[in-house]
Amino acid sequence: MKEQYNPLFESFTFKSGVHVKNKIVMAPMTNFSSREDGSVSDDEVRYYERRSNGVGMVITACIYVSPNGKGFPGQFAGDRDEMIPSMKRLAASIKDKGAKAVLQIYHGGRECPVALVPGGDVVSASAVASEQNGGVVPRELAETEIEAIVGDFGAATRRAIEAGFDGVEIHGANGYLLQQFFSEQSNKRNDRFGGDIDRRLAFPLAIVDEVKRVVGEHAKEPFLVGYRFLPEEATTPGITMEHTFRLVDELAAKELDYLHISLMEADSLPRRGAEPTKSRLAWIQDRVGHLVPIIGVGSIRTPEEALRTLDVVPFVAIGRELIMEPEWVEKVQSGREEQIRTKLSRNGQEDLVVPTPLWEVIVRPTNWFPIGD
């Protein structure tokens, strides 16, 4: 391995005591490939096994914690104890290859398709339609229902512990329910869960508290808790960097193991709420990086790009590139970085071990992946 890449392979021990062998994380990516009952399929297991050899930590695709939180066809479930054997199989498939297994937990809120929700009862912080979900107007959750969903996140965390995962990542990004409560675009409530920023933060922070409570009660070994968030929304009103600074201040005070920033481009600049003099990653690192480790992500394909991100934050997450090149880490570590594939071959599904539902999404003409011959 070239000496310049050594920083990527430094080990690290999180506040919880979970130890990772390097600074490279497999980013969470939906794969649409679970069984109808929400259990993990054989194809999913093979997909994760193929990509867990080199990275220090794998963050899985998100599981829904409540029956009305399912946001994708082929999404795996964590909303009932019957799913624990399936979850255990997924955790083992990752850990047996040497990576730490982190389960991403979430509720889709207003982004859930009507057909996937019991009774078509799509819910959110307020009755504000989502442009991404066919204009579906969700039903505003009652306070008792909000409290029940907080409990669902805790129950899913207990299941993750019993299934042998090394941690959970609370999904507060990408327009899903936690973000819906935090954003003034989607939260029009005027009770203890909505109004000013303090009350819009109440639901996400209650989930953090409940997850940490469950970990303290049930985990017999080190078990980490992370939180993923989107730093800005394009809408006005919507989340700005100024709002996000308040969010990360609160999260850092919760003594989480890490914060994971959801970005399409790791070096993207702020639009509102902070000067575009440095990247969003740099702003957040400077704000709370001395209190909690930050994971950066966003279109990182080459080891040079990974190093540039690591110059800003202590961890780098790689997503699409690990689909195109499952041996990315091994090739860097063995000095074969020039062999890293940065384009997807249309004939590569079998070699790359990508489940068919995910493959069909990847090869659509959407520019999501660079595709070669």
Q: Which residues are catalytic?
A: 176
Between CA 319 and CA 34 the distance in angstroms is 19
- C-alpha angle 136-137-138 in degrees, rounded to nearest 5: 110
In order of 35, 89, 134, 158, 168, the CA distances from 63 in angstroms are: 13, 14, 22, 13, 10
> Tokens for 130?
């989502």
Q: How far is CA 118 from the centre of its chain?
A: 25
Distance of CA 27 to the CA centre of its chain: 7
Residues 41/33, Cβ–Cβ less than 8 Å: yes
Rounded to whole angstroms, the Cα distance separating 173 from 235 reads 15
CB 256 within 8 A of CB 226: yes
Cα-based angle 227, 230, 232 (whole degrees, multiple of 5)? 145
Other residues' Cβ atoms within 10 Å of the Cβ of residue 342: 13
Query: What Cα–Cα distance (Å) separates residue 30 from each residue in 27, 33, 259, 314, 349?
Result: 10, 9, 20, 25, 17
β-strand partners of 64: 77, 106
Name the strand (E) or helix (H) holding 350.
helix 349-352
Helix (H, G, I), strand (E, B) or coil at 179: helix
